[in-house]
Amino acid sequence: MVFASLEFLTLFLPVFFAFYFLTPQRYRNHTLLFGSWLFYAWWTPKFLILIIFLTIVSWLAAILIDKSACEKYKTRIMAAAIIVNLASLAWYKYANVVVRSLNDLFGSADHPLIVWETVFLPIALSFTVLHATSYLVDVRRGVVQAQYRFTFFSAYIAMFPHLIAGPIVRYRVIEKELKERFFSAEEFATGVRRFMIGFAMKVLIADPLSPMVDLVFKQTAPSLIDAWVGCGAYTIQLYFDFAGYSLMAIGLGLMLGFKFEPNFNNPYLALSIQDFWRRWHLTLSSWLRDYLYISLLGGNRDGQTRTYVNLMLTMSIGGLWHGGESWNFLIWGIIHGSALCIARAYNHAGYRIPDLASRVLTLLVVMLAWTVFRATDFHAALAMWGGQFGLNGVAMGDAVSLALRPTVYASFAAGILCIVYPATRYAATGWWIFGSRSWRAIWPALAFAYALIVLTGQQSPPFLYFQF
């Protein structure tokens, strides 16, 4: 069950809200928790046990940290609980790829070194671990108090709007709202509007590009045009898919009385690679900065060389966090880490690139990195890069030409007209199109209605970030 599905929109969401708003205020966290567990179990019931186990470990560890008078014991308890979380994540993410790599190096197809049954990655595990880790670190630092009520803490971890693919919500951001929140018709209406916009972004813009992306990235020798069409389609698909999900999650949070932080800020308009990471997946970027780059590695406090090492380590670990099926995500992280180091060294030397050239260069680096991010393995990434650099000819292939059906253009154009144009128009002028502020309430509803009609005639692909 995904947000952009009829079963969620017509069954789960209305039933959940009916129970939620009929529940007395003091018990709404209970309704939120059990509704979130039901939402998760709808996907994979057996893995709910793992999520609950990690929740219990983190909850008990935070209480022990709070009760302990010894600073060393506090640190050890925190470290032990974090290790349990990270070990679970590492097992489910990398057991398959490590075994596969060992078999490729030391075994053969007929005689593998290790006989292995595939381990399936539980959805939401990556974000559960990040939420638990930030909570434990903040409790140890004294930034937040340990939450003694298991229902409240579990509701924070399992809250279905952000459970599957973020945004990453730090406990201190919603601590007060977990304890007490009140219904606001204005905030509920704002949440509905954001949910509808995110839904339209996913269905009208991201989903129509999915077949094109799959087609191109399956080719063994794409031409120059094919490769860039496929990479460009994926660049757009990934943004509108993930930003759409994030906006839907933020909207759902507002409907429930929670204020989540924004997750995107026009990342493809970034002036530099540093600026890109101040705009893309903001909650992950800030998490990596605060809990890894600065707190664990030391940030830029120990000179330029150590700063470059820390940047590479941070982005490599960020790549590993995304990964699981191949080492491509580590390579993606290394590319971004290298780009950040080069940009920092270039700026430190006093050089400057004109703004337009800098934006184009940044987007080019981002798109080349998205190629390895999307490719199924490194060989597929090399094939796509070969096409992007013109090693396989230039002309568009017949398969790609046939895939560019009128329905793709129509849905994409509708998405642009319904989402991108009104949003950019408002950002530039402060007024909604047609000169009427009432359009602010109307256009998301029209976009949502059209997207819902489109959805009834097809099955929406899962959100791309569900696999991470």
Distant-in-sequence, close-in-space partners of 226: CB < 8 Å, separation ≥ 6: 216, 219, 387, 396, 397, 400
- Cα–Cα distances in Å, from 99 out to 84, 113, 329? 21, 9, 17
What CA–CA distances, in Å, run from 64 to 38, 50, 51, 136?
A: 29, 21, 20, 11
CA 145 to chain centre: 27
Task: Give dist(CA 306, CA 318) in Å, integer.
Answer: 18
Residues 6+ apart with CB under 8 A from 13: none
Token pair of 191 as six digits: 């949440």
Ramachandran region, residue 142 (left: φ > 0; alpha: ψ -120 to 50; beta: rest): left
Alpha-helix runs per DSSP H in 323-405:
328-348, 355-374, 378-388, 398-403
Cα three-residue angle 259-54-142, rounded to 5 degrees = 60
How far is it, in rounded angstroms, from Cα 237 to Cα 415?
A: 12
Give me 35's structure tokens.
Answer: 């509704």
Please give the backbone phi and psi of residue 256, each rounded to the nearest 5 degrees, phi first.
-90, -10
Tokens 């979380």 belong to which residue?
Answer: 85
Distance in angstroms (rounded) separating the CA atoms of residues 43 and 12: 13
Rounded CA separation 281/166 (Å): 9
Q: Which residue in 111, 322, 336, 379 is the catalytic one?
A: 322
Q: Is 322 a catalytic residue?
A: yes
- Which residue do the tokens 């069950």 mark? 1
Neighbour-count burial for 125-151, b at 16+ CB within 10 Å, e otherwise = bbbbbbbbbbbbbbbbeeebebbeeee
- Output 61-69 pairs: Cβ under 8 A, ≥24 positions apart: 61/136, 62/135, 62/136, 62/139, 62/146, 62/147, 62/153, 63/146, 63/148, 65/136, 65/139, 65/140, 65/146, 66/139, 66/145, 66/146
Round to whole Å and give the CA distance between 139 and 65: 7
Give the residue numbers marked as catalytic. Answer: 322
